[in-house]
Structure 1
Amino acid sequence: AFDWRRGQKQVPLRLDQVHEPASNDNSPLSKLIRTEELEETLNAIGRVSGPCREAFVMRYIQQQSTDDIAEQLGKTPHQVRALCYKVLSHLRDVLGSDQSSSSGKEQYDVEN
């Protein structure tokens, strides 16, 4: 039975092969929620300062490799990954909580 199962190779489906969105819910409410979530995420990224934001934007928005980012910022690829991790961790903390900041204009230095 195990040999038969091993013989049944499953080819993983690549994302570029998927043509349908995960959700077909195109209601106005869903669009509004997605827009607000995107705006909240972009605002949270905007409040991160310095090389952390640069590295994060280059990596996850511009889709550059860590080697390219490291070369541009004068850092090692490991340092770039660490900067991106710090920003991701910070964004999870900020966006994962239901409490929003009072003014929304604070800047966060996540390099510490």
Structure 2
Amino acid sequence: MGQNDHNRLTDQLKKMLAYTTEAFVLIYSKDAGIQVVPAVAALALGSRDLFDVAAISWPWCLSAVFRGRMGEVAGSRVPGSDWEPMFELDILAAAVREKPAPAALAAGG
């Protein structure tokens, strides 16, 4: 990453972290695919390569988000004991297999 790109990323990281400590940077490599780096870790790297930090794999990140395992680390932003979620999400998945066409059955497929 060039110096100009690094400066832009640093500025963006500061803006994101001013809003929430749950900010993340998505990086991509041909070998590892999509990786997720917490913004606090990316900012702490300074001018070093983002691939120098232990990144989170994309499937693990999504799994943690859906299970509610990633949380706000700033104590002042954590809701109190009377807090209730605004939305509840139910995920329903079903495998559907289409019935083969009659011509495919006649041909042995």
TM-score by length of 2: 0.25
Q: Which has the larger radius of gyration?
A: 2
The structure carrying a bigger helix percent of its residues is: 1
TM-score by length of 1: 0.24
